[in-house]
Amino acid sequence: MVSEKRETDQPMKTIIYYFTGTGNTLAVARELAQELGNTRLIPLRQAIYFGGYTPEADAIGIAFPVHFLTMPDIVRTFVSNILFTGDPFIFGLATCGERPGGALFRLQELMEEKRYSLSAGYAIMMPENFIGPLNLMNDAGHREEKFAAMKKRIPEIADCIRNKKVSVPEGTNSGLWKWGGEVSKKLSTEVYNTPAKFHATAACNRCHACQRICPTRNITVTKDGVRWGSDCTQCYACIHWCPSEAIEIGSRTQGKMRYHHPDVTLGDMQEQRGE
């Protein structure tokens, strides 16, 4: 007689909300979802605009790239509005070029403001994609090493989630790093004003790729050119995904290498946008 499979033998139900600019975070979330099983990936941008704020699962993850040593503004907006059903294991998953800074601690603070607990926060190094005003994309020769290290670490993270192992977020809660992140964001956003310096060159063929993938719907393409609005989250998706490499940030990105994760497609990025 075949014994009935116990409920405890079933894989835990997991939801991972993600935001990605060049595909690094989506690639990591996919690896983790495959390792965990019974996991649903949801673009958090869709949850913001189309509802879905009260998830019900055994474990819920919030995956995002580190911007200026902290969370992107779009992620902060999402976290500020999410509600949870029951008592899930809540974890953060932050991808970064070299250092996560205090990004996961900021996530923890937001959760505590809402009277929730962040059970754990994991940081994974991936290829750099910050291209302006400073160019940090000097790790091209180490990309395969970072991909391999990520794949090696995923089973460990999945095991911690399955066992609901509570731990301190990875990174640093140092005030110096927090201050450094705020200064770098101010320099990029206000002093150099990256959002205002985006422009398309004569190489632009009006393919509309940038418009179709912009997560904040900040880009409009017409027969007269490409226009950026005032809601740029500085994810750099437009500059890295342009098939013609026709998008620049001022003059500092000319001739600079572009990057997006090799296993993520324009279709994936368009799905994140909600179309």
Give the pLDDT of residue 2. 36
Beta pairing partners, 94: 64, 123
**Residue 11 vs residue 64, higher pLDDT:** 64
| Predicted local confidence at residue 6, as pLDDT | 38
Architecture per CATH, domain 192-273, reads as 2-Layer Sandwich (3.30)
User: Do residues 257 and 140 make contact, with C-beta atoms less than 8 angstroms apart?
Assistant: yes
Residue 5, pLDDT > 50, answer no
Largest CA distance in the chain: 73
Identify which has the larger pLDDT, 124 or 141. Answer: 124
3-state secondary structure the chain: CCCCCCHHHCCCCEEEEECCCCCHHHHHHHHHHHHHCCEEEEEHHHHHHHCCCCCCCCEEEEEEECECCECCHHHHHHHHHCCCCCCCEEEEEEEECCCCCCHHHHHHHHHHHCCCCCCEEEEEECCCCCCCCCCCCCCHHHHHHHHHHHHHHHHHHHHHHHCCCCCCCCCCCCHHHHHHHHHHHHHHHHHCCHHHHEEECCCCCCCCHHHHHCCCCCEEEECCEEEECCCCCCCCHHHHHCCCCCEEECCCCCCCCCCCCCCCCHHHHHHHHCC
pLDDT above 90 coverage of the chain, percent: 66
**pLDDT band at residue 266 using 50, 70 and 90 as cut-offs:** very high
By percentage, how much of the chain surpasses pLDDT 70?
92
- Assess contact for 132 and 252: CB atoms under 8 A: yes
Residue 165 has pLDDT above 80, yes or no: yes
Give residue-wise pLDDT tens across range 27-60: 999 999 999 999 999 998 888 766 556 678 999 9
Alpha carbons 168 and 184: distance in angstroms, whole number: 25
Q: What is the pLDDT of residue 190?
A: 82
Higher-confidence residue of 252 and 243: namely 243
**Spatial CA neighbour of 21 closest among 213, 160, 201:** 213
Higher per-residue confidence, 140 vs 232: 232
For the ranges 50-64, 146-160, 231-245, the lowest mean pLDDT is seen at: 50-64
Handedness of CA 34, 37, 40, 45 (dihedral sign): negative
Please report, for the chain, the start and end positions of each structural domain, with discontinuous segments joined by +. 10-179, 192-273
- The answer, yes or no, to whether residue 7 has pLDDT greater than 50, is no
More confident residue, 274 or 129: 129
Pairing of strands 198-200, 247-249: antiparallel
Residue 268 pLDDT? 95
What is the reported pLDDT for 199? 96
Higher local confidence (pLDDT), 117 or 54: 117
pLDDT in tens, 248-262: 999 889 889 999 999
Superfamily of domain 10-179: Flavodoxin domain (3.40.50.360)
CA 75: distance to chain centroid?
8
pLDDT per position as a tens digit, 172-200: 988 777 777 788 788 788 888 888 999 99
Residue 1 pLDDT grade (very low, low, confident, very high; cuts 50, 70, 90)? very low
Q: Across residues 193-209, what is the average pLDDT?
A: 94
β-strand partners of 14: 39, 59
**Residue, of 139 and 161, whose pLDDT is higher:** 161
| pLDDT band per the 50, 70, 90 thresholds, residue 237 | very high
Is-contact 45 272, C-beta < 8 A?
A: yes
Query: For 12, left (φ over 0), alpha (ψ -120 to 50), or beta?
Result: beta
